[in-house]
Amino acid sequence: MTVRVGIIGTGVMGADHAITLRDLVPGATVEAVSDVDPSRAASVGVRVVTDPLALIEDSDIDAVLIASSDATHEQFVLACLAAGKPALCEKPLAAEVAGCQRIVAAEADLGRRLLSVGFMRRYDPGYVALKHTLDAGDLGAPLLLHCVHRNVSAPDWFTSDMVITNSASHEIDTTRWLFGDEIAAVTVHEPRRSAALADPVLLVFETVPGVLVDAEVFVNARYGYDVRCELVGERGLASASGPVTADWRDRFAEAYRLELTDWVDGVQAGEARGASAWDGYVASAVARAGVAALGAGRIAVELPAKPALYK
């Protein structure tokens, strides 16, 4: 069966995903799109549905890709659950931790997973190879992970909180995915301020078994988009790196292709793949602890019990 995808939000990521789905993902078509800006929606070149909730309900749409502004995610994700439609939501799952909790509760009540969250680094060949090396035991037990996450420049609406909630959320998810462990505490350091916002920041995550992860997140690094990490184990080192590019679309093009392919294959198989709503919730909860830690020392992360659906 061909998966007929509806895309909500045709800005930078939605438009990029539309091209990837159309040109590079077997078994998928972009059936319709919706955007607050009708001309931006029309530029994708497929049917435009003005009301995003009508797109979710549309009987010609099998699965929904949500790439609209962060504040709208919760409403659309909940509507997909109510309609029984699989959905891939760009991170964050919801703008606030409470919204993520409502989504997790709604999916747990439904009793089946329909949601995936767009943490694309889980599909990046370099990060996947690093995880294989670690899981194969070649490095011994992990001790430290050093991460670098630099953007050329942040949009003018970016805030200090967003450096953590929007950007560092990738390092939070990478840490949990790579080690399969939760983050127990967060500390955030800030050097001498060179900009109006807290940028760069240096985050330190402590995982439950005691691996230390440091992450430099610098959203106005100017020279390029540069994302990489190095893992230090008891018996060796391994790293994941990639080219320095203009932005994340080039650096992670292959990761996006693999993510969308796996999502579509999962829809065909009746399975939700990739990061779950629970992963989206935890990323937001840890990011919120990071925001609290900015200038306030070490903050412990308290998580509720994981619902059975996600075990």
Tell the smallest beta-carbon distance from residue 54 to ligand ISE (Å): 27
Q: Tell me whether residue 151 or residue 261 sits nearer to ligand ISE (CB atom).
A: 151
CB of 223 to ligand ISE, least distance (A): 14
Q: How far is CA 9 from CA 5, 24, 59, 105, in A?
A: 13, 20, 19, 25
Compute the least distance from the CB of residue 22 to ligand ISE, in Å.
22
Nearest to ligand ISE of 85, 281 (CB atom)? 281
The smaller minimum CB distance to ligand ISE, of residues 161 and 271, is found at: 161
Nearer to ligand ISE by Cβ, of 48 and 186: the residue is 186
By the 8 A CB rule, do 200 and 182 touch? no
Least CB distance from residue 79 to ligand ISE, whole Å? 23
- The residue ranges that bind ligand ISE (CB under 6 A) are 151, 166-167, 170, 219, 248
Sequence-separated (6 or more) residues with CB below 8 Å from residue 270:
none
The type of residue at 171 is: E
Q: How far is the CB of 163 from ligand ISE (least distance, A)?
A: 8
Q: To the nearest whole angstrom, how small is the minimum distance from the Cβ of residue 178 to ligand ISE?
A: 17
Cβ atoms 248, 121 nearer than 8 A: no
239 or 245: CB nearest ligand ISE: 245
Residue number with CB closer to ligand ISE (32 or 282): 282
Q: How far is the CB of 268 from ligand ISE (least distance, A)?
A: 26
State which residue, 151 or 175, has the beta carbon closest to ligand ISE: 151
* Strand 115-117 to 87-89 pairing: parallel
Sheet order of strands, 201-207 included: 237-240, 226-233, 142-150, 212-218, 201-207, 183-189, 299-300
